Amino acid sequence: MTEFALDLNDDQKQVRDWLHGFARDVIRPAAAEWDEREETPWPVIQEAAKVGIYSLDFYAQQFFDPTGLGIPMAMEELFWGDAGIALSIVGTGLAAVGVLANGTEEQIGTWIPQMYGDVDDVKVAAFCSSEPDAGSDVGAMRTRAVYDEGKDEWVLNGTKTWATNGGIANVHVVVAVVDPDLGSKGHASFIVPPNTTGLSQGQKFKKHGIRASHTAEVVLENVRVPGSCLLGGKEKLDERLARARERARAGGERLKNAAMATFEASRPAVGAMAVGTARAAYDYALEYAKERTQFGRPIIDNQGVAFQLADMRTQIDAARLLVWRASWMAVSGKPFTAAEGSMSKLFASEVAKKVTAQAVQILGGNGFTREYPVERMHRDAAIYTIFEGTSEIQRLVIARTLSGLPIR
């Protein structure tokens, strides 16, 4: 087990500095344009692919960092550049995590490379879980997958929503109900290969923030996929469903469903994204406060401004520590006995909203305009308390873990 340390090693520092340079030199100069266009920044994704950031190899190296800090460090630096563009670069990773968490070695080797494409022809992937009536309440999911034994195919029908890269993805990972009687325990994940008949893009959402990231509905109408596209395989699914039915009859502990396994693995990473956005707003506000003069002196000379910046930095550092702790615990196999993963996502998300709002306030009227980036950062930060489990859901998870009671 790797010892927990707060000091990055030389290799990690080199990667961090490399990512920071890409965020500074490539992502930031493009941020305002793609926010206004509300389109996927394909040229930036391609630049990330050219230097090796948008690739399976890069994310594998960070994912398997024995300290657990590779992914949160990478997320923080990229989202320091810009949240919308960074989400376009890393959004494929959520689908990849879905395959890594639930798939066989053959499925991992077959489908994850197709999610990224290559330098000359970059691709993206989408993880499709949420539905119009099933967001936090995954038990209300209606998308069905029915097995056609004669053809060894699964038939998917339903509508997914809030899917990053939904409809434009080369590969879609879809969570569907295979046994309605088991509620959220009767779910499974499926690969929908490129150009599969019956999958189409529904509404594309015009969002408040992260507007450079494509978010849309995904409509599935009699979508047929081979039996080999069931993540984990049918034998494993049948065994899992049998155990779930037995535990339901016994009133015992239930198994985690496929969607929640993916979200639990990614929550500290989302916290790191929030830390990156908060840090970007703090950095800009700090420099602005040093240079902006009122009443004959820099505004940072005023306690009202200086104390805000002190609080902002303190909260950012505290959020990073929670993220790093959860990431280290996950890679070390330590159980989240106090829901430390949810803690990290909850606190970092709330910090991002608060810090970006304070940055707008420090800039005053300038902070309220699109001529200054903190306005965009404030809009972007709103998503962190919403996606991959709202702050309210994180508090519910933490409270249930601490109390052992089914708090509602």
pLDDT at 123: 98
Over residues 178-225, the pLDDT tens digits come to 999 998 889 999 999 999 999 999 999 999 999 999 999 999 999 999
3-state DSSP assignment of residue 222: strand
Residue 262 has pLDDT above 70, yes or no: no
pLDDT interval class at 253 (50, 70, 90): very low
Question: In terms of pLDDT, which residue wins out, 244 or 259?
Answer: 244
3-state DSSP assignment of residue 203: strand
Over residues 178-188, the pLDDT tens digits come to 999 998 889 99
Tell which residue, 79, 1, 125, has the closest CA to residue 274: 79
Over residues 381-407, the pLDDT tens digits come to 999 999 989 999 999 999 999 999 989
pLDDT at 264: 57
Residue 254 has pLDDT above 70, yes or no: no
Residue 77 catalytic?
Answer: no
Residue 252 has pLDDT above 60, yes or no: no
How many Å apart are CA 280 and CA 322, to the nearest integer? 19
Catalytic residue among 47, 217, 375, 388: 388
What rounded mean pLDDT belongs to the chain?
93
Q: At a CB cut-off of 8 Å and minimum separation 6, what does 340 contact?
A: 322, 325, 326, 329
* The dihedral sign for the CA sequence 75, 79, 83, 85: negative
Over residues 89-131, the pLDDT tens digits come to 999 998 998 898 899 999 999 999 999 999 999 999 999 999 9
